[in-house]
Amino acid sequence: MTRQQLGTVLVTGGAGFIGCALSERLAPDAARWVVVDSLHPQVHATQSRPAALADAAELVVGDVTEPELWDRVLADVRPDLVIHLAAETGTAQSLSEASRHARVNVVGTTELLDGLGRAGIVPSGFLLSSSRAVYGEGSWQRADGTSFVPGQRSHAQFERGQWDFEGATPLTSSVASTWPTPTSVYGATKLAQEHILSAWVDAHDSALGILRLQNVYGPGQSLINSYTGIVSLFSQWAAEGRSIPVYEDGRITRDFVYIDDVADAFTALAGRMPRAGVVRYDVGSGVATTILEIAGHIADYHGAPAPHVTGQYRDGDVRHAACDIRPTIEALGWEPQWSVERGVAGLQEWIAAQAS
């Protein structure tokens, strides 16, 4: 990919976990790489420029929900490509801070678009970091082969210790076959981002590429934000010699995808954007791993006590999440390179380096 192909790139939330990884790969090859980020203290402890952000990246500190920010930025920057990463994350947190999630994820997106409109700018394309949370529980299959969408597990169901939907097994999520039915405020706001951007690009003859990311982990992940992923949290507990507590019966499944594979997927899509319209892809490892299994890998790495199942739960959590990545592989020429075992080891090495 050349500087001419990338042009000027505007990255919202570009000083975060994924944004820094992308900057290392793509910023040197862009005519300009402009990052807008609030440096939220929940993620950035010192609220200073991250060391992992590429030197070529121009950082603008500001709140994506403020119109004045966009008027200031877009008076100077005319992006050819917008990579929209800015979002509040965390399914559990979104239940108690719904307005915060909606303000950043939904209003932040509309303010960006309104700012582009006031500046008379129509980027050739947008890349959106969406989430597996848009699927909610996805589809399940009964013993007779029929499928259904069960919706959200209730608080009463959790209290009974009924973790699965009786007489059914989960199906792997897929853009092509799984209707999005988010069961969290966070998931609903991510789906809203998809709809808002889709409507805007169709009306302006622009293009939108959406990557529905599974559970992203790896070096660069915030070690102070418990809502950004359980892998880093588990890693810190195991490094302290503690037994990792695992919720429900330990058989919750997730598709853990390493940060390098996610950055590669963004890079692949940036080089294969359509001229107009919307494309959506699932990005994961393609492997469903139980929480107990990944906790075991982390504990083994540190020689920590075996994880223990607590029977605790979080309202709004989905039981199973994994995706079919075959269409993504075929369309983008991308394929994940990191197994869970290798990725866990890579993260532990990085965490240890931060402490030294």
Q: Model confidence over 329-339: pLDDT tens digits?
A: 999 999 999 99
The shares of helix, strand and coil residues in the chain, as percent rounded to the nearest 5, are: 40, 20, 40
Angle at 18 between CA 290 and CA 212, to 5 degrees: 55
pLDDT of residue 226: 60
Strand partners of residue 210: 128, 280
Annotation says 135 is catalytic: no
Residue closest to 153 by CA, chosen among 288, 291, 321: 321
Helix (H, G, I), strand (E, B) or coil at 351: helix
CA 116, CA 201: separation in Å to the nearest integer? 12
Q: How confident is the model at residue 224, as a pLDDT?
A: 66
The pLDDT tens digits for 135-170 are 999 999 999 999 999 999 999 999 999 999 999 999
Of 33-42, 303-312, 319-328, the least confident = 33-42
Least-confidence region, from 58-72, 213-227, 305-319: 213-227
pLDDT band at 3 (very low <50, low <70, confident <90, very high): very low
Contact 224, 44 (CB under 8 A): no
Whether the model pTM is above 0.75: yes
- For domain 3-355, the question of CATH label 3.40.47.40 is answered with no
Q: Is the pLDDT of residue 356 over 70?
A: no
Question: Coil, strand, or helix at residue 107?
Answer: helix
Q: Has residue 46 got a pLDDT over 90?
A: no
For the chain, give every domain's residue range: 3-355
User: Which residue of the set 135, 186, 247, 313 is catalytic?
Assistant: 186
Which band of pLDDT confidence, cut at 50, 70 and 90, is reported for residue 40? confident
User: How confident is the model at residue 354, as a pLDDT?
Assistant: 83
Return the closest-CA partner of residue 301 out of 344, 242, 264, 245: 344
Whether 4 shows a pLDDT value over 50: the answer reads: no
pLDDT higher than threshold 70 for residue 1: no
Query: Residue 242 and residue 313: Cα distance in Å, rounded?
Result: 20
- Owner of token pair 């690009």: 201
